[in-house]
Amino acid sequence: MKPTRLAAAGLITTLLGSLVAAAPANAAPDTASATSTSSTNCTTDPATPKRQFRAMWISSVVNIDWPSKASQTSPDRVAAQQAEYRELLDLAERLNHNAVVVQVRPTADALWPSPYEPWSEYLTGTRGQDPGWDPLAFLVDESHKRNLEFHAWFNPYRVSMPAPGGAGADLNLLAPDHPARQHPDWTFAYPPAGVAGSRLYYNPGIPEVREFVQTAMMDAVSRYDVDGVHFDDYFYPYPSGSYQVPDDATFAAHNRGFTDRADWRRDNINLLIQEMNGKIKAAKPRVKFGVSPFGIWRNQTADPLGSDTTGSQSYDIISADTRKWVKQEWIDYVVPQLYWYIGQYPAADYARLVPWWAETVRGTRVQLYIGQADYKSGDPAYGPFWQNPRELSDHLTLNRSYPEVQGNVHFSAVQVRANRLGATDIYAAEHYSRPALVPAMTHLPAKPLLFPVVTRAARQADGVRLTWRQPADGVGPLGTATSYAIYRFDGTTLPGRCGTADAAHLVDTVRATPGGAQSWVDTSAVPGKRYTYQVTALDRSANESPASPPAFVLR
């Protein structure tokens, strides 16, 4: 054993021993709750889960969420766009979210200085124009400062949006150096050029295209400190009328022995998912890969394995065999877009689809989060059921009946902020009242973490300041703390393991700062009230250390 490992092992033994005598001699606990009961035997409150993925989609395409269209003409565009993003992060923090899913490649372009694709028009209003800064670096850094996971959202094959706002089917309207202009044979227009809504797509059936889009996306994964890679539901285009995808020549040239074109198309997308997962894990094993598919895989009438629904099927209409991706564990998480209400809607009842997806992920290591349609809440265009201010909260309540559901992603940020009918306030109060840790993924790389040691807990003018250190951080066989969770208990007590089994006492999570000493101020502490604090360390995959010995504030 190397000397560093011996030193770390000795430190582990010493610190574990300190648990026995953790409480200061002058602090008499209020209760005798210091038990060694495993957290798996603890009674927890489903309204305050310790772990739950909570995020909102931040869409850049056509300036839906960020940056705003108005920011492009601001006297100081960069400052305006940065301020807009910080405001969205403020919203995420108020709602006790722990992640953001940000669209960084909306139309075969880039929100970073990519050597493969042009700058996105949604930054400046001009396709290919250099914005003069690196938005992706800023987005990741600002998110991490708030201890929010950053999931980089890519659209693999969409090249343009319809005219008049987008380039439509006209290659000449793309940025001058756009790869699609250099390789027009890589693209097709759908619906056909001249038809309303026509736009350009990269052809998923061409092997060079599949390799290129992966290379373009992996550039961001390799160069930036992202926590996840996220695809939405755009693979083959959604059908438009009776128009067919124009891939006769591609099928003839690249069918790989398939005789059924529908199976071949699905295999094209399967290869994209499988290969992308492999490349992500080879480059950065800790980076998660997730997909947010259309909410129906197949209906039972078409396949006995399907759901009790009658709506459109992603398996057939966009060649996305989402169930296979889960069963093969080619993805780490899935976020089906269940954008329907509960009850009286046989085409796609939310209450029928949640159990189907729960059953689909059961027995796999793929985590299930649900995509929520905040954009429908309070909008008369979507019918009377969405005029119920409790509809979204009822969705989250139903999710509790299925332990496989480990979180939600809300579409989209400006709709969450709009809070129509007060729906955001309702679900936030009933389901996001406390912070939550991101669900851990046990198959991702991890090393054990020692518990933090609180060196000081003292009142000051603005609250209680805690100071702590992380012993042997990243030394030898030990992991590195990326963030910390802070738990607070009323009175002076020995909380025991059940005290941190849910989020009832979780007051905050904070990002680790460079250097040894970590510090945080509890601004919500009531003056003169006694408290007990514990701190835990978390690694990049949200694996949690044992809790620190308790620290007491007596006055």
Q: Which of 388, 403, 432 is the last residue of a domain?
A: 432
Query: Are 410 and 509 contained in the same domain?
Result: no
Residue 519 pLDDT class (50, 70, 90 cuts): very high
User: Got the DSSP string for 61-83?
Assistant: GGGSSSS-TGGGGSTTHHHHHHH
What's the confidence (pLDDT) of residue 58?
Answer: 99
Query: Are 377 and 477 contained in the same domain?
Result: no
Task: Give the 3-state secondary structure of 291-307.
Answer: ECCECCCCECCCCCCCE
Q: Which two tokens stand for residue 292?
A: 């947010």
Query: Are 333 and 461 contained in the same domain?
Result: no
Query: Are 220 and 270 contained in the same domain?
Result: yes
b/e map 72-91, b = 16+ CB within 10 Å: beeeebbebbbebbeebbeb
What's the confidence (pLDDT) of residue 27?
Answer: 35
- Would 197 be classed as within a structural domain? no
What integer is the mean pLDDT of 409-422?
Answer: 98
Indicate the number of domains in the chain.
2
Q: Which two tokens stand for residue 514?
A: 């460079």
- Would 510 be classed as within a structural domain? yes
Q: Is the pLDDT of residue 1 over 90?
A: no
Residue 329 pLDDT class (50, 70, 90 cuts): very high
What's the confidence (pLDDT) of residue 515?
Answer: 85
- For residues 484 and 531, is the Cβ–Cβ distance under 8 A? no
What integer is the mean pLDDT of 267-273?
Answer: 98
Residue 160 pLDDT class (50, 70, 90 cuts): very high
Say which DSSP state 555 is in: -
pLDDT in tens, 278-294: 999 999 999 999 999 99
**Among candidate residues 157, 166, 296, the one with its CA nearest the CA of residue 231:** 157
Q: Is 1 exposed, middle or buried (0-12, 13-18, 19+ CB in 10 A)?
A: exposed
**Among candidate residues 263, 256, 216, the one with its CA nearest the CA of residue 236:** 263
- CA distance linking residue 332 with residue 358, whole number of Å: 15
Q: Is 269 exposed, middle or buried (0-12, 13-18, 19+ CB in 10 A)?
A: buried
Matching residue, tokens 């990002």? 511
**Among candidate residues 527, 532, 552, the one with its CA nearest the CA of residue 462:** 527
Per the document, the length of the chain is 555
CA distances from 296 to 272, 307, 310, 354, 357 (A): 20, 7, 9, 10, 9
What's the confidence (pLDDT) of residue 516?
Answer: 86
**Among candidate residues 108, 105, 223, 224, the one with its CA nearest the CA of residue 160:** 108
- Would 2 be classed as within a structural domain? no
What integer is the mean pLDDT of 340-364?
Answer: 96
- CA distance linking residue 405 with residue 400, whole number of Å: 7
What's the confidence (pLDDT) of residue 555?
Answer: 82
**Among candidate residues 220, 222, 93, the one with its CA nearest the CA of residue 147:** 93
What integer is the mean pLDDT of 27-53?
Answer: 66
Query: Are 325 and 413 contained in the same domain?
Result: yes
Q: Is the pLDDT of residue 7 over 70?
A: no
What integer is the mean pLDDT of 470-477?
Answer: 96
What's the confidence (pLDDT) of residue 39?
Answer: 59
Q: Is the pLDDT of residue 10 over 70?
A: no
- Would 28 be classed as within a structural domain? no
- CA distance linking residue 459 with residue 469, whole number of Å: 19
Query: Are 428 and 509 contained in the same domain?
Result: no
Q: Which two tokens stand for residue 498?
A: 């059940």
- CA distance linking residue 468 with residue 462, whole number of Å: 18
What integer is the mean pLDDT of 450-466?
Answer: 97
- Would 447 be classed as within a structural domain? no
What's the confidence (pLDDT) of residue 102?
Answer: 99
Query: Are 393 and 532 contained in the same domain?
Result: no
Q: Is the pLDDT of residue 357 over 60?
A: yes
Please report which residue ranges of 343-431 form alpha helices under DSSP H.
350-361, 391-399, 413-418, 423-431
What integer is the mean pLDDT of 469-483?
Answer: 97
Q: Which two tokens stand for residue 125?
A: 């209003």
- CA distance linking residue 218 with residue 116, whole number of Å: 11
What integer is the mean pLDDT of 170-197?
Answer: 98
Q: What are phi and psi of 73, to 5 degrees?
A: -110, 10
- Would 412 be classed as within a structural domain? yes
Q: Which of 397, 432, 467 is the last residue of a domain?
A: 432
Residue 17 pLDDT class (50, 70, 90 cuts): very low
Report the 10 Å Cβ neighbour count for 550. Answer: 26
What's the confidence (pLDDT) of residue 484?
Answer: 98
* CATH code of the domain in which 345 resides: 3.20.20.80
pLDDT in tens, 88-140: 999 999 999 999 999 999 999 999 999 999 999 999 999 999 999 999 999 99
Query: Are 461 and 334 contained in the same domain?
Result: no
H-run or E-run covering 211: helix 207-223
CA distances from 420 to 60, 311, 463 (A): 22, 27, 35
Q: Is the pLDDT of residue 16 over 50?
A: no
* CATH code of the domain in which 539 resides: 2.60.40.10
What integer is the mean pLDDT of 328-336?
Answer: 98
b/e map 282-301, b = 16+ CB within 10 Å: eebebbbbbbbbbbbbbbee
Average pLDDT of the chain to the nearest whole number: 93
Q: Is 56 helix (H, G, I), strand (E, B) or coil?
A: strand
- Would 15 be classed as within a structural domain? no
What's the confidence (pLDDT) of residue 205?
Answer: 98
Query: Are 344 and 299 contained in the same domain?
Result: yes
Give strand ranges (E) for 280-389.
Answer: 288-291, 333-334, 367-372
Q: Is the pLDDT of residue 8 over 60?
A: no
What integer is the mean pLDDT of 488-513?
Answer: 96
Order across the sheet with 517-522: list the strands. Answer: 453-460, 463-469, 517-522
Q: Which domain holds residue 458?
A: 453-553
Q: Is the pLDDT of residue 345 over 50?
A: yes
Q: In angstroms, how far is CA 241 from the centroid of its own chain?
A: 34
Sign of the alpha-carbon dihedral angle for 488, 493, 494, 499: negative
Query: Are 397 and 516 contained in the same domain?
Result: no
Query: Are 233 and 293 contained in the same domain?
Result: yes
- Would 246 be classed as within a structural domain? yes
What's the confidence (pLDDT) of residue 18?
Answer: 38
Q: Is the pLDDT of residue 302 over 70?
A: yes
Give strand ranges (E) for 218-304.
Answer: 228-231, 288-291
Q: Which of 399, 432, 465 is the last residue of a domain?
A: 432
User: Got the DSSP string for 470-533?
Assistant: -TTTT-TT-----EEEEEEEESS----GGGGSSSTTEEEEEE--SSSEEEEEETTPPTT--EEE
Report strand pairing: 517-522 vs 367-372.
unpaired
Q: Is 217 helix (H, G, I), strand (E, B) or coil?
A: helix
Query: Are 404 and 489 contained in the same domain?
Result: no
